[in-house]
A and B are shown apart, each in its own frame.
Chain A
Amino acid sequence: EVQLVESGGGLVQPGGSLRLSCAASGFTFSSYWMHWVRQVPGKGLVWVSRINSDESSTTYADSVKGRFTISRDNAKNTLYLQMNSLRAEDTAVYYCARDLYNSGRTDAFDIWGQGTMVIVSS
């Protein structure tokens, strides 16, 4: 079964850090671009970041640029999001998502994890 499972969310104070993980299974993880997308509960989806298959290319939304770092370990089939200098407005459910194609990038997402909640509050 193709699956993505996020972990690492929780409550953190403003200015703090958190590292999210996304464990992939059931497909050739190393062949796909991967993404992080977040959602304030009950609100719309917001794309956060993407990384290519060999980690040579990363891109971020302006709202997180310079604070968040996306990375991956293809040997462990795991995607990461290091979040530093967290703000209240970063509070959301964070989803990892697989790009639609394994040949090139589309920025459409065909597989999503269940999400992990991040709450930034004092």
Chain B
Amino acid sequence: QVQLLQSGPGLVKPSQTLSLTCGISGDSVSSNRAAWNWIRQSPSRGLEWLGRTYYRSKWYNDYAVSVKGRITINPDTSKNQFSLHLNSVTLEDTAVYYCARGVVGATTNWFDPWGQGTLVTVSS
């Protein structure tokens, strides 16, 4: 059974960097059949896919246009985890952040399981 456990601060100051980590048990961050995603949820933006990292003989990253240039997702094979870094945050980045495993489907991925979620508030 795959489980994802998130960690990281719940309060970030404007213009600083939001950093979260997602620990994986029951699967490998280096799996050739999965992708490791970050998704956020807020009342104003709903559920929003942010980006992913995945391994297919080498490492790849994909990022949503809405956060491209501010986001980095890194795998850590030694700890079997992956991280999210979102810089230059504003009040609009306040949301519940989830990590999720992307499962490869016939036409598109689905997300299963999800981490427990981390409420990140951007405030001075």
A joins B in a complex: no
Show the binding face of B for A, using Cβ within 8 Å: none
